[in-house]
Structure 1
């Protein structure tokens, strides 16, 4: 049995990650005094690691695989295998963006206007490369936090900050000049672990089931009985992922119909299905779609 050392992001994505693993089939138990959560899978050993550091630990082989943002892979210039994207967030359905931000009254309208100015950010290496590749000379300073306050107080001329909706930026009287990077969570692997058949099999299993759990987000199953003569009317209403499953009920002209649909359409869809002749409609949740 190959033991896979897997990193779970500690911090803002921690709860959402544990919830995603639960829907994928793994029950993770954490302790406030322990950085090594337990999981009901003898092939996994988990570690809680800050997303900012995850790609370094995976690249160095301390971890075989882990979940972190594309932004921190680029920031650390980590040589890792990017196995798959995992787009999930408790805060918003919008993708996270690293944006160039200035005060509303700043004369800066484009990155080139910051030539010779000071930019503060947590994403220092990426930001330096971004401006250097465009031939724009700026001084990039590391920010330990409260980055918006630095530009509000005039401690720097601009900041590069992460946002999903932009609401916090606007609330501070700031405006976005340009989006520098759109990022999302990724499952990454160490090259040696990826080359090992046993550990690669486990990494691919984790990737497959996490993606299946994400595909099930916002989806439900519908099951109903339909008289044969009303079948076409009902089928025309069903926005299924594929063709609905249809089976004859024993010794009747009725049919059983089953389909996967978006949960948000159910409240409008069910009255139409009833009017079209469907009966005994059952709605049920989905954990994974494979």
Structure 2
């Protein structure tokens, strides 16, 4: 299949970021249909086409102009030393919104306690060039940096050390590994080809999509609250609202009542609703949000 060069070409990351990315686009207003047998997802925007690449290689295809823009981890932009334009940070990832850390680690029982102790040793990692630059920057001679095809934590007791990514730290703890240093902290980014970014029409479209994606991310942790309040109890209800929020108050047909609406964090909602009820709020309901554009 050949993509239409007149269309804005989007790169969707294949692998662990694929489903969260497709869901994020859906909440932003774009429906992406991914076939298990095709690397060309369908997107319900006639001015766009999409291709799928692994996050590890996305920045190279963006740099070379195979696609106009794409989504991948910042770690792979660094690893590939890619010359691309960073459009924005997108705070979502495989399991949480936490950044991914690439850490240098050894077994807990190891007599290695600092990076310098690894001089002359062997390191296993997926991030070979980044690790090479790290040790060169510290003037620590390493015998070999070997590529790891996965299950890197298991190899820590077979060689001298590993550099692996962690999002929650649970795998490191499960494998009884001790962190010596953090080489890189990475989040998901939207990146663009320089020529595409210089094209006014393409840039505007990319910026619009970035705005919608960021709005969908912001909305995921918040909900809307709406309730009816007797006018006589409005001050008491508003006093319970978070100080950082400015609720909307609307007149109702019955002049003795008003409708109050506010957006709050999900963790605040569970404490706020009972307080609003006790203060006089009635017919309280909450609803999910797709996007919040500041």
- Measured against the shorter chain, the TM-score band is over 0.9
- Using the TM superposition, give the Cα deviation of residue 192 of structure 1 relative to its aligned residue in structure 2, in angstroms: 0.0
> Alignment partner of 1:215: what SS?
helix
Aligned residue pair count: 288
Structure 2 Cα separation of the partners of residues 69 and 121 of structure 1: 16
Structure 2 residue aligned with 1:142, among 144, 147, 153? 147
Q: Equivalent of 2:114, from 103, 110, 114?
A: 110
Residue 235 of structure 1 and its aligned partner are, at CA, apart by 1.2
- Aligned partner of residue 220 in structure 2, secondary structure: coil
Confirm or deny: 8 A CA contact 1:81 1:190 kept in the other structure: yes
**What TM-score do you get using the length of structure 2 for normalisation?**
0.94
Q: CA-atom RMSD, angstroms?
A: 1.5
1:8 to 12, 27, 35: 12
CA distance in 2, matches of 1:162, 1:136: 21
Q: How does 1:149-188 map to 2 (within 5 A)?
A: 149-152=154-157, 154=158, 156-188=159-191
The gaps in structure 1 that reach 5 residues or longer are none
Find the aligned partners of 1:268 and 1:174 in 2 and give their Cα distance. 39
Q: Which residue of 2 aligns with 1:78?
A: 82
Counterpart position of 2:36: 32
Does the 8 A contact of 1:2 with 1:198 survive in 2? no
Superposition deviation, residue 191 in structure 1: 0.2
Q: Secondary structure at the match of 1:31?
A: coil
2: CA distance, partners of 1:193 / 1:94: 30
CA contact (8 A) 1:240 1:261 kept: no
Q: Which runs of 5+ in 2 are unaligned?
A: none
CA distance in 1, matches of 2:260, 2:291: 20
Q: Please, which moves more after superposition, 86-95 or 164-173?
A: 86-95
Q: Offset at 1:265?
A: 2.3
Alignment of 1:193 onto 2:220 = no
- Report the counterpart of residue 242 of structure 1 in structure 2: 245
- Could you tell me which residue of structure 2 aligns to residue 56 of structure 1? 60
Give the equivalent residue in structure 2 for 1:221.
224
Q: 3-state SS of the aligned residue for 1:108?
A: coil
Structure 1 residue 283: Cα displacement? 0.9
SS of the residue 1:34 aligns to: coil
Q: Which runs of 4+ in 1 moved over 6 A?
A: none
The residue number in structure 2 matching 1:66 is 70
Task: Return closer, same or farther for 1:67/1:240 CA change in 2, 3 Å cut-off.
Answer: farther
